[in-house]
Chains A and B, each alone.
Chain A
């Protein structure tokens, strides 16, 4: 079912349509929130809030544009809001506070977690671009629409995100000095 038809059904109060809407978007939204926030419970809360807001405000969606970036825009904004509250309260990521030494981590944690830890150190804009580009496979143009900024800015942020991530992984010992190969991927 295309986006327009699905939204029409939701706006008419069709419960099956709403359920289909939620089933279609809960995975991507939860993925963005989890990668962005790095905290599962927070990601669940923000995902729920995002989906509720999206369903309630479907009348604001521009039918000439794809639905996924619109929903992801809400998700990113909610993540930013929660991160802002965290910063004001001075609350850090739990796993970021309990990181072990690099050599100990390599033997015990998987590389997906290493990547998540490295993501948490990025600036919000870099992290958003990276997650949307690689996890949600959004184009630079779509990311620019989501973040409401020029496409060139997105490319710059994406470039810096890649560079900082590679340096962070190298600093943590995930990348060896001689071959610059990531272990275990």
Chain B
């Protein structure tokens, strides 16, 4: 028996709460000082734990638990009554749906304000900053304004041209109605092109007005 075998066999006996060594284990401890020392230290530890009894619990513990259980009795009774509470997922779905609807309304500019006008204002007054902009910020804002202007013009042009492009009803057969107009006439849904392009143009105008004018003047 080598030391590894001894340790494994000894641990098995400890797991079975058996402290006495078998003959082969005892023979190994007679020849190996390390394993004998290990066995003696473990034996001492086991003897210590054999006297390890449960400590005396505090006398007021039982009454404290009983008091806590008694004081919460109404809550235990109410637990049997099913109570419908909104689930967390339901709250999230409702919140996200509302946010999505509001966002769509704002983007399309159709959400009315209390006085009946659209949310997108016709004129936006931007208060100029109290202090002059730093050169770096001015350059950055000028670049943003230039890019927005170009993007706005390109988008408006593309949308204007898009409504004039030739279309055939076979491109989107799902939208084709049984009593559709003859070829050459645009379907009803295509007439939304012009209002959509107008709305997008208004949005870009709003962005254009929102950028401080001092940035472009400083450049």
Residues of A bordering B, CB below 8 Å:
18-19, 22-23, 26-28, 30-31, 34, 44, 47-48, 51-52, 55-56, 111-112, 115, 134-135, 140, 155, 158-159, 162, 165-166, 169-170, 175, 179-182, 185
Contact = CB atoms under 8 A, between A and B. Distances in A.
B42 A166 contact: yes
Given A18-B69, A52-B68, A134-B49, 20 more contacts: A26-B61, A26-B65, A30-B54, A30-B58, A30-B61, A52-B65, A56-B76, A111-B48, A112-B52, A115-B48, A115-B52, A159-B14, A162-B42, A162-B45, A165-B45, A169-B41, A175-B41, A181-B40, A182-B41, A185-B47
B66 interface: yes
B61 A48 contact: yes
20 contacts: A22-B66, A28-B54, A30-B55, A44-B61, A48-B68, A55-B65, A112-B48, A112-B52, A135-B49, A140-B15, A162-B45, A166-B38, A166-B45, A175-B41, A180-B41, A182-B41, A182-B47, A182-B48, A185-B44, A185-B51
B11 interface: yes
B179 interface: no
Interface of A is mostly: helix
Contacts of A56: 69, 72, 76
B215 to A, nearest CB: 49
Contacts, number: 90
Interface in B123-147: none
Interface residues of B, number: 29
Contact of A47 (B41, B44, B57): B57
A179 B69 contact: no
Contacts of B47: 182, 185
A169 B68 contact: no
A162 B42 CA distance: 7
A153 to B, nearest CB: 13
Given A52-B69, A135-B54, A26 B62 contact: yes
A19 B66 contact: yes
A28 B52 CA distance: 12
Contacts of A182: 41, 44-45, 47-48
A111 B37 CA distance: 20
Contacts of B68: 48, 52
B24 to A, nearest CB: 20
